[in-house]
Amino acid sequence: MSQLDQKSEAWSALFSEPMSDLVKRYTASVFFDKRLWQADIAGSLAHAAMLARQGVIAQADLAAIQQGMAQVRAEIESGAFEWKLDLEDVHLNIEARLTQLVGDAGKRLHTGRSRNDQVATDVRLWLRGEIDLISELLAGLQKALLALAEQNVDVVLPGFTHLQVAQPVSFGHHMLAYVEMFARDQERMADVRKRVNRLPLGAAALAGTTYPLDREWVARELGMEGVCQNSLDAVSDRDFAIEFTAAASLVMVHVSRMSEELILWMSQNFGFIRIADRFTTGSSIMPQKKNPDVPELARGKTGRVVGHLMALITLMKGQPLAYNKDNQEDKEPLFDTVDTLKDTLRIFAEMAGGITVQREAMEKAALRGYATATDLADYLVKKGLPFRDAHEVVAHAVKDAQAKGVDLSELPLADLQKFNPAIGEDVFGPLSLRGSLNARNTLGGTAPAQVRAQIARHRARLA
CA-based torsion, 257, 258, 261, 267: positive or negative: negative
Is the pLDDT reported for residue 372 higher than 90?
yes
Q: In this structure, is residue 219 part of a structural domain?
A: no
Q: In this structure, is residue 56 part of a structural domain?
A: yes
- For residue 425, what is the DSSP state? G
State how many domains the chain has.
Answer: 3
DSSP-derived 3-state class of residue 324: coil
Instruction: Please pick, among 20, 78, 162, 284, the residue that the annotation labels catalytic.
Output: 162
291 beta partners: 281
**What per-residue confidence (pLDDT) applies to 318?**
95
Closest CA to 218 of 347, 334, 365, 48: 48
The mean per-residue pLDDT over the stretch 323-328 comes to: 94
Average pLDDT, the chain: 94
164 beta partners: 161
- 19 φψ region: left (φ > 0), alpha (ψ -120 to 50), beta (else): beta
319 burial via Cβ count (<10 Å: 0-12, 13-18, 19+): middle
Give the Cα separation of 360 and 354 in Å (integer): 19
Is the pLDDT reported for residue 381 higher than 80?
yes
197 with 225: CB under 8 angstroms?
yes
Give the Cα separation of 4 and 10 in Å (integer): 6
Residues 133, 72, single domain; the answer is no
Give the Cα separation of 120 and 232 in Å (integer): 12
**What per-residue confidence (pLDDT) applies to 4?**
44
What percentage of residues in the chain have a pLDDT greater than 70?
A: 97
Instruction: Give me the numbers of helices (H) and strands (E) for the chain, helices first please.
Output: 20, 4
Q: In this structure, is residue 350 part of a structural domain?
A: yes
41: CATH: 1.10.275.10
Is the pLDDT reported for residue 6 higher than 50?
no
Residues 132, 81, single domain; the answer is no
Q: In this structure, is residue 1 part of a structural domain?
A: no
Question: Quick one: how far is CA 114 from the chain centroid?
Answer: 32
Active site residue 162: yes
Instruction: Please pick, among 8, 12, 267, 283, the residue that the annotation labels catalytic.
Output: 283
Q: In this structure, is residue 105 part of a structural domain?
A: yes
**What per-residue confidence (pLDDT) applies to 8?**
42
Mind listing the pLDDT tens digit for each residue in 279-302?
A: 988 878 887 888 999 999 999 999
**Contacts of the segment 347-351: beta carbons below 8 A, 24+ positions apart:** 347/279, 347/294, 347/298, 348/141, 348/144, 348/255, 348/258, 348/294, 348/298, 349/137, 349/140, 349/141, 349/143, 349/144, 350/144, 350/279, 351/275, 351/276, 351/279, 351/294, 351/295
Mark which of 334, 363, 392 sits at the end of a domain.
363
Is the pLDDT reported for residue 5 higher than 90?
no
Give the Cα separation of 319 and 233 in Å (integer): 12
Residues 13, 133, single domain; the answer is no
Mind listing the pLDDT tens digit for each residue in 328-357?
A: 999 999 999 999 999 999 999 999 999 999
This prediction's pTM: 0.93
**What per-residue confidence (pLDDT) applies to 177?**
98
Residues 336, 251, single domain; the answer is yes
- Give 1's pLDDT tier (boundaries 50, 70, 90): very low
- Give 9's pLDDT tier (boundaries 50, 70, 90): low
The mean per-residue pLDDT over the stretch 91-109 comes to: 97
The mean per-residue pLDDT over the stretch 24-43 comes to: 91
HEC sequence for 389-419:
HHHHHHHHHHHHHHHHCCCHHHCCHHHHHHH
Its domain, for residue 386, covers: 368-462
**What per-residue confidence (pLDDT) applies to 10?**
54
- Give 361's pLDDT tier (boundaries 50, 70, 90): very high
**What per-residue confidence (pLDDT) applies to 7?**
43
Q: In this structure, is residue 2 part of a structural domain?
A: no
- Give 71's pLDDT tier (boundaries 50, 70, 90): very high
Residues 252, 401, single domain; the answer is no
298 with 256: CB under 8 angstroms?
yes
Is the pLDDT reported for residue 309 higher than 90?
yes
309: CATH: 1.20.200.10
Mind listing the pLDDT tens digit for each residue in 239-277?
A: 999 999 999 999 999 999 999 999 999 999 999 999 999
